[in-house]
Chain A
Amino acid sequence: MKDEKIRRVPERIEPAPPDVLKDRAYDPVPASPRREVDPYCYLGATEVQQPLAYREALATIRNWCRANSLWVMAYGTGCGAIELRPLMTSRFDMARFGMAPRPTPRQSNVLIIGGYLSLKTLKRVIRAYEQMPAPKWVVGLGSCTINGGMYWDSYYTINKLDLYLPVDVYISGCMPRPEALIAGFQELMKKIKQGEANGWNEYLENIDDYKINQKRVIGDWRMPDYNW
């Protein structure tokens, strides 16, 4: 069950041509062979190619709207979720950044992994993550998601979250204070505005490897390969 035995996710399955790489910053659709079969995240198969300046301007507006309207999935997976509550209250008030808690994965954009992930929770988190619609980001909260933290030798928690879900921003600490969370979310907003937070694209491009990793640790899979 140790992470060292698990195959690492490769950077990219096959090298993409340079123009595709250039487009990825502007287009949220993963430029990959999976584009046609991708179950959830597509912008329409017969999209007309507009001029680059138009796409650039549209992407700027789109990314700005997305960055300033982050809807957070209120899913406390570990003890780190205790720091999310003060973030919503009067003292820290995440609503001033346009963030709002949403109770359903269908409407949320950010999945916060609040601390350690037991294998039982990991299964639910994967389901919730795959049910979220296309622009979605994962924030790993606390050192448990980075290297296991104080649960590093536990038999039933995972140590490196990045092997199972694509993490966009890590917030280190045990526990990180709400100020650290705000700093992390501002980092995420900056990445979104620059078009660099493409974790969900990498998840779809490397989905086979992610599934191998996930199925290796989750014994009783008993659900579809992709939950949407």
Chain B
Amino acid sequence: MQAVLNLDIGYLGLCALSVIGAIAYGLLIGGIIRKVMARIQSRIGPPVWQPYLDVAKLFFQRTSIRHGMMFYLAPVFRTVGGIGIYLLIPIVAGMPGLAGFSFNGDVLLVIYFMFFGCLGMALGAGESGHPHAIIAVSRGLSQMSSYELPFSLALIALVAQVGTFSIGGIIEAQAGGIGNWYLFMNPLAGIAGLLSFLGMQMYSPFNIVLAPQEIPIGPPTEYNSTFLGLMMSGRAIFGVAKSALFMNLFLGGATSIPEAMIKIFVVYMWAVFVGAVFPRFRAEQSVRFFLRWPTWFGLAGIALAMLMKHLAS
């Protein structure tokens, strides 16, 4: 009994370590993104470790402004949503602490958790009372509903083809070379997934929520000090978790830590490079975009999956 207890505490410690590592890696990716964007605009740009300094500075600040309970809880919801997704997704298959608490049906739970963080954010932003925050929240929720449609269609195609709702099972089904990656096995559903991932990451064409210079940075307008630092950490782990989910679903997962880091980075950069080229959509343009081409690609992906399954049997 004592041995089991010790093992569990050790496992939880590993999970906590991996969460801290994921936050650090997410912040590092944020710094690299700022550097890359600066080089694209022929600037020197901030140092790569700038996000660490920003977060540290924010955690050294204090405030005694009172907005209400949800205002305090929203960054916690956001961070907990990110950690929840991260712990459910297997980052490196079979490695303790990084294998995740994967079980049958966890794909659905992960999608729910993604909504959970944003919903908490919406409640907190609503209580902050700033009109820009409320505009941004309504934009964000409508955009989220629209990009979840093609993403769900791609996921349905994937699940229909693989025959399991577990992320671990999906990774196993893609084992054995690049040709087995779902992105190449069913390219139509892969394209739907890639396009909806752009909306998920909220970089430039779809950054209608934060929307700098338009509605001054949206939901976190009233957030400051430690709240903002917590939200930046939550955003870091959220980005890593979403990229890891995409890596597992479409790019065949990872078998070692460097492979996982590289794949997560590549998936992240896909959204960043698209954002470097395209200017921001308006809210209704973004919603219409997701309901047109990605949705058609998703439906065609389901048809392709059915066809391939029919031919195989």
Which residues of chain A have a CB within 8 Å of any CB of chain B? 39-44, 61-62, 65-66, 68-69, 89-90, 93, 95-98, 100, 102-104, 106-107, 133-135, 228
Contacts and interface: CB of A to CB of B under 8 A. Distances in A.
A98 B53 contact: yes
A98 B43 contact: no
B46 A98 contact: yes
A104 B216 contact: yes
Contact of A104 (B61, B64, B217): B217
Nearest to B42: A90
Given A93-B38, A95-B46, A133-B225, A69 B54 contact: yes
A23 B43 CA distance: 40
Contacts, number: 81
Given A69-B50, A90-B41, A90-B43, 6 more contacts: A66-B60, A100-B46, A103-B216, A106-B222, A133-B61, A133-B225
A37 to B, nearest CB: 11
A124 to B, nearest CB: 15
A93 B223 contact: no
B234 to A, nearest CB: 16
Nearest to A58: B60
A155 to B, nearest CB: 33
A96 B43 contact: yes
Contacts of A103: 212-213, 216-217, 221
Given A68-B53, A69-B53, A106 B45 contact: no
Contacts of B224: 106-107, 133
A98 B64 CA distance: 26
Contacts of B54: 69, 98
Nearest to B214: A103
Nearest to A108: B224
Contacts of A228: 65
A69 B50 CA distance: 8
Counting from the closest, the 3 A-B pairs by CB-CB distance are A103-B216, A106-B224, A93-B43
B283 interface: no
B34 interface: yes
Interface residues of B, number: 31
Contacts of B212: 103
B63 interface: yes
A41 B225 CA distance: 11
B206 to A, nearest CB: 20
A153 B268 CA distance: 57
Nearest to A88: B43
A135 B221 CA distance: 18
Given A40-B65, A106-B223, A96 B53 contact: no
5 contacts: A61-B56, A62-B60, A65-B57, A68-B50, A95-B38
B57 A69 contact: yes
A124 B223 CA distance: 20
A66 B57 CA distance: 6
A96 B225 CA distance: 22
Contacts of B225: 133
Name which of B41, B43, B45, B217 has the most chain A CB atoms within 10 A of its CB: B43
A44 to B, nearest CB: 7
